[in-house]
Amino acid sequence: METRTRFLFLQHVMEVSKRSNTGGVAALALANAKLLIHGARAGTFDLEVLCEPGTWLLFPDGPTAPPDAPAPRQLVVLDANWSQARRMTQRLPELRALPRLVLPPPEPGMLRLREPSHPAGMSTLDAVARAVALLEGPEAAAPPGAAGRAPRAAHRRLRDAELSAGEGNASMGYRLIIFDFDGTLADSADWFRGIFNDVALRYGFRSVSAEELESLRGQDSRAIIERLGVPMWKMPFIASHMRKLVARDAHRIPLFPGVEAMLEQLQARGITLAVVSSNAEENVRRVLGPVASARIRHYACGAGLFGKRAKFRKVLKAAGVRPAEALSVGDEVRDIEAAAAEGIATAAVTWGYATEALLRSRAPTVVLTRLDELLQVVAA
């Protein structure tokens, strides 16, 4: 659902794993929205986002804006229970300083997701639906023929938008997320470029320029092997050597920014995490570090170049999860193909090795351009 106003959801960490949470649904349904987590031990967000000009806070009391003030450009929504929301405003002076958008009392018979504990109470989704109607106007909030019933219509449009966002995505009820490692969690691209031609010289395949290496990102693994003239019988030896090089250089390979916080938040939602990688488990654990590696429940590493399908099957069995309840996250075509062959939904990330165009050509379930988009995918 498109809106002029940007909705910034500040979700209390205790709400993350609740199945009854509706803030994540609202954030997923609004095109102009962002979801941040408050209270996580790692990956705290930049408070400057709360100080942007034209930012208001959706809250039932406090300093309101002057009657002639322009409409907010950004509306902060606290996704928390009443006592949590109070504490958030007390602890964050940036929130206390914001002018408030106070919703009018709910009309009798207003459509609600659940029965409120007090007459003015409502869920986050209910409150956002009313805010959309108030800020965007009945024309934007209501579908044709529904003017005059804007809050109710906006509520229905939000729910419809959330359902549309989930179409084609294994019902969004993921219990298991299986990550690839290199190019997905670990930013090993610079390291790979630095050792590529040395490996080519050692194993007798063609070396490449930086420009040609970049162009290879637009081809799948089979096409790359053929273009470089690598005999298939050499692949296990090359893979073994690469793992030894990673073990030597693990201290030089960083995680992508935000990975540790993302893993923490996914674990807090009650989702089981796994890694399926061609790299060695010891290497994966070293690069992740002790805290992040402990969040991964299942490791299936040392996969052959085209051997990930068996590893996916092994992880599903170990986790006791059906394929429809799992999501594979990876940066290569072979990740998509192996997961899809097992009936697992696929999230292709564009910050890794393969180009976005190549990944989209293989029709993954969803394409992610930023780490935080994964949290939105599982928010519902």
Domain coordinates of the chain in residue numbers? Answer: 6-166, 169-380
Amino acid type, 268: A
Lateral strand order in the sheet of 176-179? 298-300, 272-276, 176-179, 326-330, 345-349, 366-368
Neighbours of 101 (CB within 10 A): 23
Residue 136 contacts residue 93 (beta carbons within 8 Å): no
Give 169-380's CATH code, choosing from 3.50.50.60, 3.40.50.1000, 3.10.450.50, 3.30.70.1560: 3.40.50.1000
What is the rounded average pLDDT for all residues in the chain?
83
pLDDT at 14 over 50: yes
pLDDT number for residue 366: 92
The model's pTM is: 0.57
Nearby residues of 306 by Cβ (< 8 Å), 6 or more positions away: 221, 334, 338
Please state, in angstroms and rounded to a whole number, the distance separating the CA atoms of residues 32 and 2: 6
Mean pLDDT score, 57-67? 82
Distances (CA, A) of 310 to 68, 83, 175, 277: 64, 48, 20, 12
Residue 27 contacts residue 57 (beta carbons within 8 Å): no
pLDDT number for residue 171: 38
Lowest mean pLDDT across 49-63, 87-101, 118-132: 118-132
Nearby residues of 279 by Cβ (< 8 Å), 6 or more positions away: 181, 182, 243, 246, 301, 302
Beta-sheet pairing, 298-300 with 366-368: unpaired
pLDDT number for residue 263: 94
The residue ranking higher by pLDDT, 22 or 343, is: 343
| 266-303 per-position pLDDT tens digit | 988 889 999 999 999 999 999 999 999 999 999 999 98
pLDDT number for residue 146: 44
Please state, in angstroms and rounded to a whole number, the distance separating the CA atoms of residues 132 and 291: 40
Q: How many CA atoms lie within 13 A of 99 on its CB side?
A: 17
pLDDT number for residue 55: 94
Mean pLDDT score, 245-251? 92
Which SS3 state, helix, strand or coil, does residue 105 take? Answer: coil
pLDDT at 33 over 60: yes
Mean pLDDT score, 55-72? 84
* Strand ranges, E, within 278-334: 298-300, 326-330
pLDDT at 163 over 50: no
Per-residue b/e over 18-30, b at no fewer than 16 CB within 10 Å? eeebbbbbbbbbb
pLDDT number for residue 169: 39
Where does the pLDDT of residue 42 fall: very low under 50, low under 70, confident under 90, or very high at 90 and above?
Answer: very low
Name the DSSP letter for residue 232: G
